[in-house]
Copies of this chain bind each other. A is one copy, B any other.
Amino acid sequence: MKVIADICIVPIGVGVSLSEYIAACEEILDRDGLKVDLHAYGTNVEGEWRLVMDALRLCHEKVHAMGAPRISTTVKLGTRSDRDQTMRDKVESVQKRLQDLQS
């Protein structure tokens, strides 16, 4: 089962600067078989469900190992059984509608 996910990992108890932890997670998510796209409030990830979930678990383990005693993560998970859809498809589909609206 393929999934398009949006992952936002928030380490708690390590002060206000979180970029060091997020970068470590980016390295983990950017693995063979996954497409990733960092944005200002999380990271889009596309790939096989198990690969995405394994990477997510590794992120939690890594952030704890880096010293964060507590983590609160928000994840969105989109799956479809009707057809294949990529992250790029989703964005382009909305952008095309926007052009129609504005023309």
Contacts and interface: CB of A to CB of B under 8 A. Distances in A.
7 contacts: A6-B40, A26-B98, A38-B95, A40-B88, A41-B90, A71-B79, A73-B76
Contacts of A95: 23, 38
The count of identical subunits is: 4
Contacts of A18: 12
Contacts of A100: 23
B40 A87 contact: yes
Given A57-B49, A60-B1, A75 B72 contact: no
A90 B38 CA distance: 10
A1 B90 contact: no
Contacts of A103: none
